[in-house]
Amino acid sequence: MTNTVSSSLPVDKPLTVAGKEYKSRLLVGTGKYKDLAETKAAIEMSGAEIVTVAVRRTNIGQNADEPNLLDVISPDRYTILPNTAGCYTAKDAVRTCKLARELLGGHDLVKLEVLGDQKTLYPNVTETLIAAETLIKDGFKVMVYTTDDPLIAKRLEEMGCVAVMPLGAPIRSGLGIRNPYNIKMILENAKVPILVDAGVGTASDASIAMELGCGGVLMNTAIAAAKDPIRMANAMRLAVESGREAWLAGRMPRKLYASASSPIDGLII
Amino acid sequence: MQIKVNGESLELADNATISVLVTQMLLEDQRYAIEVNEEIISRSQHVTHFLSDGDQVEVVQAIGGG
């Protein structure tokens, strides 16, 4: 067969974040991989175009020959999304974003996450709101990690965040989308992309997020901590694509009881 | 003079610029950002910005993260 069935389907519209279009709806992190070679291979396999990085102190006396993450994940090829992971106050998050902007030569797209405590890594919503306001005033384009509270999500959108990213479950928990109904509520009113960020454990979780109508999914550990991260990166790419296709197709309604799918007429009995 | 770089004490020649520190840290060809006393000093100013005794310097790079 030379033509696949999918080639005759209308092309999906791209994911648009801060005016830029992306074919892939899977966003990936670069943490927790065995080494940079594995990071590179997994990210290539995932098909992701937006890739998150952290900003950290340089080790004094480190080996200058050691490859740098940005040599492997080139800003010429990927949209680099620096995060504020590890920040617990608005002040620290803003400071980190400013350093990231300098580091990336004026690049102003950031992932804002302000955490509440170390045990849950739950978003600190009050500090997140303060940081978002400061960053937006300073010209940053903010993709914001937050709780799955529909009112807070709306507020962040109205403030001018370019994407709102509610958690599916706590960071690195791998528990999947714990409250799909909240994600649905967030989606109903949203005018910016809603991306599930955190909580995805396996491919079906990513599909569920996309079947709900999310603009995309951001994940790191679900790929990096899999036994075979490269293969899981492929699984996640397919899961995000198939979940999106199912959303576009529109699923059948749920019913409590059966109804026959074969015709009753013409039965021999 | 003594400055602090990423929380650690470092002895540097008096009147050294940020560029001197960058060279000493073998970072010239890499992507990095620098703060002096919590204020970002843009890369174009590293040649002309003199460090002072007691300065708190932060040197950061991008690493793996989610």
pLDDT in tens, A164-175: 999 999 998 999
- Where are the extended beta strands (E) located within B1-66? 2-5, 8-11, 33-36, 39-40, 56-64
A221 contact residues in B (CB cutoff 8 A) = 66
E strands, A69-131, are 79-82, 109-112
Position A264 confidence tier, pLDDT thresholds 50, 70, 90? confident
Of the partner residues A60, A69, A220, the one whose CB lies closest to the CB of residue B63: A69
Taking an 8 Å cut-off on Cβ atoms, the answer to whether B65 and A100 are in contact is no
**Which of B25, B29, B60 has the most A C-beta neighbours within 10 Å, making it the best mutation to test the interface with A?**
B60
Cα A79 to Cα A75: distance, rounded to the nearest angstrom: 6
Answer with the residue of higher pLDDT: A265 or A65: A265
> What CA–CA distances, in Å, run from A41 to A28, A141, A212, A228, B42?
12, 28, 29, 11, 33
Q: Would you say A187 and A212 are in contact if contact means Cβ atoms under 8 Å apart? A: yes
A111, A137, A184, A255: the active-site residue: A111
Distance CA A84, CA A100 (A): 9
Average pLDDT, integer, range B25-50: 94
Quick one: B2-61 is in which CATH superfamily? Answer: Beta-grasp domain (3.10.20.30)
Which of B27, B35, B64 is the closest to A33 by Cβ?
A: B64
Extents of the domains making up chain B: 2-61
pLDDT at A61: 59
- Residue A15: pLDDT band by 50, 70, 90 thresholds? very high
Q: Which of residues 107-136 of A touch B (CB under 8 A)?
A: none
Tokens 């990071």 belong to residue: A39
Q: Is the ipTM of this complex over 0.90?
A: yes
- Asked if the model's pLDDT at residue A28 lies above 60, the reply is yes
Using a CB–CB cutoff of 8 Å, tell me whether B44 touches chain A: no
Close Cβ partners of A246 (under 8 Å, ≥ 6 residues apart): A207, A210, A211
Instruction: Give the chain A residue whose CA is nearest to the CA of B31.
Output: A103
Chain A interface includes B24 (CB < 8 A): no
Q: What is the mean pLDDT of residues A96-104?
A: 97
The rounded mean pLDDT for chain A is 94
**Do A79 and A55 form a contact (C-beta atoms < 8 A)?**
no
**Per-residue pLDDT at B54:** 96
Measured between alpha carbons, how far is A244 from A22 in angstroms, rounded to an integer?
14
Confidence band for A1, pLDDT divided at 50, 70 and 90? very low
Rounded Cα gap, residues B58 and B38, in angstroms: 8
DSSP β-bridge partners for residue A216: A195
A171 vs B contacts (CB less than 8 Å): 66
Distance from CA of A105 to the nearest CA of B (A): 9
- What digits encode the pLDDT tens for the residues A34-56? 999 999 999 999 999 999 999 99
B20 touches chain A (CB under 8 A): no
Backbone torsions φ then ψ of A29, nearest 5 degrees: -95, 170
Instruction: Determine whether the interchain pair B61/A68 forms a contact, defined as Cβ–Cβ distance below 8 Å.
Output: yes
Angle (nearest 5°) at CA A200 between A214 and A228: 125
Distance, in Å, from the CA atom of A87 to the CA atom of A117, rounded to the nearest integer, reads 10
Of the candidates A132, A108, A186, the residue with the CA atom closest to the CA atom of residue A124: A132
Question: Is there a catalytic annotation at residue A111?
Answer: yes
